[in-house]
Amino acid sequence: MTAHLQPRARRVKILATLGPASNSLEVIMALIAAGADAFRVNMSHGAHADHAARIATVREAEKASGRPVAILADLQGPKLRVGRFAGGSAQLEAGQAFRLDADATPGDATRVQLPHKELFAALKPGARLLVDDGRLVLRVMAVAPETIDTRVEVAGRISDMKGVNVPDVVVPLPALTAKDRADLGFALDQNVDWIGLSFVQRPEDVAEARALIGGRAALLAKIEKPAALERLAEILELADAVMVARGDLGVELPPERVPPAQKAIVAAARQCGKPVVVATQMLESMIDAPTPTRAEVSDVATAIYDGADAVMLSAESAVGKYPLAAVAMMDAIARSVEGDASYQARVNFTEISAGSSTASAISHAAATIAVDIGAAAIVCFTITGSTALRAARERAPVPILCLTPRASTARRMALAWGVHSVTTRDVASFEEMVAKSRRMALRTHLARAGQPLVLIAGVPFSTPGSTNVVHVVRLTGDELKDR
């Protein structure tokens, strides 16, 4: 059934968050039809039973659609919060002193508990504390073993359990809490395709999660801390993909620094051949309105012009009033951008080095050949998906047909730019590879009689990481008779 499914009319992928507005089989099937390629399950909200039901519903919708669909389980990560107030909240004035301490007694306008002992050792005078997504700003004046004295720089009302961001120091907390470890084990048992790791500050955070995952899912590192930006290259080396998580990143960085950071992350990920997702507030107004603002449309378009592999919807599809319209709008924006005559030049503005490996050189050559001969598609035979990712990295103006014997690989490729995956039996010989490439290109409507295809694979077959062959074939139109 999958083999006959027509690819999307765009290369960038759409990742939609599931929630109360998108729980049912009917809605999830409609989201896939509207353009969703992958679904995010937010582990910050809901019980495991709720998540298990959503995951099962996605798999049911996937089977009905015949299209490989990725599921991303997004771990919550550590959440820094203040304690409670005697009256539920307190008004802080600019310039006043305010103390954070270890005392669990309800707070007032002079003090409140900060139940995170790690911060007392990490913070230094001059550091900032951003409370309630930066609506209040406290400047650290002095630190003692159980007290942090601050001055209020941006005034406002502070209330129970509001979040705290600490942008100026590396917080000595692991990226995985006890809840995250439990959620991770659950997600792996549910056979999700991707794990989203929050609160990444250093490569060691990624290494720890990767060891726990043990190859059972791919790992996406969320870049939402300034410290992660400083060690982006090391994080990219260990992660399978990254996300530009502009929510917390936009709190901890000055707003004007977020767009350059986004472009830097996208470019670095593309250089490494790792999928990159741009997320948060992309069509925010569509939570309550049937159409987005022009600025939001431009924001989505910019990410696509920059060459992001995927763009993400959060509350728009999870709790919004118009989840289907939001996915359809993102799909329409993508098709419009990719239909722009200048798109190919813009998406290749980031200069990609082919690297020194044979596999990278073969993928680079395949993209060049495909352009030079006007190929209908690049066809990849792959076990792990690495060949398809290398082909996607080149951003060639032709579709990439990924043929794999593993359903898990086909699903993971749902976050990779330009890749249309088909799960099919493995091949045992070069001749079988050529014949199957021709048949699948015709069945998926990626090519027609008379058009050339560029094939890339590894010989011997079924050997992961052995990409060493590029081959050109021309379709005759008789291939489907050879089944």
DSSP codes of every residue in 452-468: EEEEEEESSTT-TT-EE
User: β-strand 89-92 against 156-159: which pairing, if any?
Assistant: antiparallel
How far is residue 414's CA from residue 421's CA, in Å, rounded to a whole number?
8
Assess whether 404 carries a catalytic annotation: no
Give 8's DSSP letter. P
Task: Please give the C-alpha separations between residue 199 and each of 16, 209, 314, 445, in angstroms, as whole numbers.
Answer: 21, 12, 18, 42
Which residues are registered as beta bridge partners of 39? 16, 71
In the chain, count H helices and then E strands. 17, 21
C-alpha torsion angle, residues 365, 12, 216, 247 (rounded to 10) = 130
Instruction: Indicate which residue of 59, 79, 81, 84 is catalytic.
Output: 81
Q: Which of 67, 128, 222, 412 is catalytic?
A: 222
Name the residue type at position 148.
I
With H, G, I as helix, E, B as strand and everything else as coil, classify residue 198.
coil
Known catalytic residue at 448: no
In this structure, what token pair is assigned to residue 225?
A: 């801390």
Question: In this structure, how many other beta carbons lie within 10 angstroms of the beta carbon of residue 327?
Answer: 26
**Phi and psi at residue 201, to the nearest 5°:** -120, -25
| β strands within 398-450, DSSP E | 400-404, 419-423
Backbone Cα Rg of the chain: 24
Distance CA 45, CA 68 (A): 26
* 225, 206 contact by CB (below 8 A): no
Catalytic residue among 280, 404, 409, 444: 280
**CA distance to 36, 42, 193, per residue, from 70 (Å):** 10, 14, 6
| Pairing mode of beta strands 310-313, 276-279 | parallel
Is 412 annotated as catalytic?
no
| Residue 181 vs residues 163, 176, 215, 227: alpha-carbon distances, Å | 21, 6, 16, 23
User: Pick the catalytic residue: 8, 13, 40, 67?
Assistant: 40
Cα–Cα distance between 276 and 415 in angstroms, integer? 8
Nearest to 275 by CA among 193, 191, 339: 193
Q: Do the beta carbons of residue 472 and residue 369 sit within 8 Å?
A: yes
Residue 225 catalytic?
no
Query: Which residues are catalytic, by number?
Result: 40, 81, 222, 280
